[in-house]
Chain A
Amino acid sequence: MAQLSVSEVLPSGVCIGVYGPSGSGKSTFLRAISGLIRVPGTVQINDDVWQDDRRFLAPHQRRAAMVLQSPGLLPHRTVAGNLEFAIRFNRNAKAGLLDSILQDFGLVQLRDQRASTLSGGEQQRVAIARAVAAQPDVLLLDEPLTGLDDEARQALLQVLMQLKRTGITCIFVSHSAYEQALLADHLVIMDAGAIAMSGSSASVFANASPTSALGRELGVVIGDLQVVENADGLAIAARDELRIQMATKAPRGSAVSVRVRADDVSLTEMPEHQSSIMNTIPVTVSGQSIFDETPFSLIELDAFGTRLFARITNDASRKLGLRVGAKCHAQIKAAAITAYL
C-alpha cells in the first residue's frame, strides 16, 4: 500500500479524475475517502467531517458509494435485487427510484436476471447503477473500465458521460489518459502517494511536465468543433477557420471534442502535399520549452486562436529555427486524433 500524503480541496458537482502510474497511490487515496482503509488525517465532504483527529466514520456511515474494477455484485440476487440492496440502505430513497434507475441505465430488460449470469460489461453497468441508487454525496470509481473489452468500455464511457451531466460529484480513478480526457472536469495527477498536479482537466493536460506521469499523454483537448462533412466515418470538423480531419461516427452537424497529443503533432516549414498526413494547419509558435533531462522540446503553437502542442527533438527545433513568433505548419495524422461526442 502506497504512503499517502495529500492535502487538497477539490470542487464538488463535477467529475474529478485521478491519474497516475500504478503504485502512485490513486486507489489508496480513494479507499481512504471511502473509509475502507484508515490513514491519519481529515476527510471532509461538503460540511460533513467523515474523519479527523477525533473521529473515524466506518465505510457504511459515509455517504460515499464505490465502484471497483471488480463489480462486486451479489451473485445470488437479480439486477433489481442488487439495486434494492443499495436502496435499502439509502434513507432518502423515494418510491419509484428503482424503476427510474433501471430506465436511466438501460437495465429494464435485464431486471430479473441473476447477476451471476451477466457479462462483465453488464455487471459493471449494474454496479454503477447500484452506486447511483445509493444517492451518495460522492461517487467513487476505481478503474471501473479496466479489464473490459473495447465495446463494453465504450458503452460504459457513454453511461459515465451521461452520469457526469447530472451534476453528481464523482472521483474517477483511471490510468487511462483517454478516459480521463473524456470524463474528468478536474484532473489530479498523483505520484508517489502525493498530488503532483491538480487543476482543470484542460490546463493539466496542457501544462503537465513531459517527465511527469502524464508526459506522453500531454496535449490539448479542443472542444466545440462542428462536424461539417462525414463520408463513411472520415469526418471534417471545424471551429472558425480551424479544420481537422478525423475518424468519427458523429453525423454532420453534431458537436465533437478532440484530443490531440503533443507526440502526434509534427512541424514543417512548407506544407507538404505529397504526404499521407491529411491535417496540415498553419500555426504560429507561441512558446517553447526545452527540458534538459529529455532530448525533446515542447513547442506551444497557435492555430487560428486554438492552442496546440508539438513535441519534437531539440535537434529538429534548432534546424527549423523555431522561436516565438515563427510561422510553420503543424501536421497531425487523422488516425492519431481521438474524437469524443
Chain B
Amino acid sequence: MSPEDLQALWLTVKLATSTTIILLIIGLPLSWWLVRSQSIAATAFNVLIALPLVLPPTVIGFYLLLAMGPSGPLGALTSTAGLAPLAFSFPGLVLGSVIYSLPFVVQPLQAGFAAVPQSVLDASSSLGADPKSLLLRVAIPMSQRAVVAAGVLGFAHTVGEFGVVLMIGGNIPGETRVASVQIYDHVEALDYAGAHQLSLILVVFSLVILTLVYRVWGGSVFTQSGSKSA
C-alpha cells in the first residue's frame, strides 16, 4: 500500500471519529427532545434530519458548498470570525459528515429513548431529578445499547461517504482525500490493484461492523428498544 493510501485511510478514521463524537454530543440531547416534545418544531426537525436518507449526497454537498462559499451564510460567518473558509477543508468535511450522518445517529437514539418507561421518568422526577439528570442519569444509562448502536452506525456511515466529500472537500491529499475518494482516483488512473487493496479493507471493515451490530443488537437497530425495561 502506498503512503498516499495510508494517508487516506488515516484521514478517513480521523474524519469518522471527529464526526461521531460531534454527532453524539448533538444527537443525545436532540433525540431526547424529539422524543419528549410534541411541538410542531419537533416534527419539522424530524423531517429535516431525515432528509439525507432520501436526497442524493451530491444535492446536500452542492447546497453546503454554496453555503460555505464567499456569498453563502456559512462563508459570511467564517469570514467575519476571521476563520479560513470551510469549503475544501477538513473542518468543512466534518460539518458535511455531521449533517449527512445525523439520521443514522438520531433514529436509533430516538428508538432507545422512546422505550424508557414513563413510570421510571415520573418516579425519577418526583424524587428530584431535573430534566438534565433525567437525560444523563436515567435515559442514557437505560439506552446504552442504542447509544452504542448510534455511534457505530454514525462512524460506519461516515467512512462510507463519497458524494458529499467530493462536492465540498474536493480531493486534497492529507486534507480532504479520504479512502473512498482515493479508490475513485485509483480507478480513474486504471490502477485496479490499488483500488482493490483499499476496497478490500473497506469491505472487511464494513463486514466486521455489521457482524458486530447484528450479533449485539439482533439486526433491529432501528426498531429495538436499546434497553431492557424493569
Give the chain A neighbours of B230 by CB distance below 8 A. 71-75, 115-116, 123
Do A89 and B138 touch across chains, with their CB atoms under 8 A apart? Answer: no
Partner of B117, one of A59, A72, A115: A72
Quote the shortest CB–CB distance from B127 to chain A (angstroms): 5
Interchain CA distance A59-B127 in the complex, whole Å = 8
Do A130 and B142 touch across chains, with their CB atoms under 8 A apart? Answer: no
Interchain CA distance A76-B142 in the complex, whole Å = 7
Do B130 and A60 touch across chains, with their CB atoms under 8 A apart? Answer: yes
A320 within 8 A of B: no
B44 within 8 A of A: no
A331 within 8 A of B: no
Partner of B128, one of A75, A90, A115: A90
Do A34 and B142 touch across chains, with their CB atoms under 8 A apart? Answer: no
A127 within 8 A of B: yes
Query: How many residues of B are in contact with the other chain, CB < 8 A?
Result: 24
Do A58 and B117 touch across chains, with their CB atoms under 8 A apart? Answer: no
Please provide the chain A residues from 75 to 112 with a CB less than 8 Å away from any CB of chain B in the complex. 75-77, 85-86, 89-90
Among the stretches A61-69, A203-211, A223-231, A246-254, the one at the interface with B is A61-69
Quote the shortest CB–CB distance from B191 to chain A (angstroms): 51
Whether A70 contacts B117 in the complex (CB less than 8 A), given A36-B122, A75-B142, comes out as yes
Q: Mark B106-130, 1 if CB is under 8 A from A, else 0.
A: 0000000000010111111111111
Query: How many residues of A are in contact with the other chain, CB < 8 A?
Result: 32
Give the chain A neighbours of B229 by CB distance below 8 A. 75
Interchain CA distance A274-B230 in the complex, whole Å = 55
Whether A72 contacts B120 in the complex (CB less than 8 A), given A116-B228, A116-B230, A123-B230, comes out as yes
B196 within 8 A of A: no
A308 within 8 A of B: no
Partner of A76, one of B123, B127, B141: B141
Closest chain B residue to A123, Cβ basis: B230
Give the chain A neighbours of B117 by CB distance below 8 A. 70, 72
**Chain B residues in the interface with A (C-beta under 8 A):** 117, 119-131, 133, 137-138, 141-142, 144, 227-230
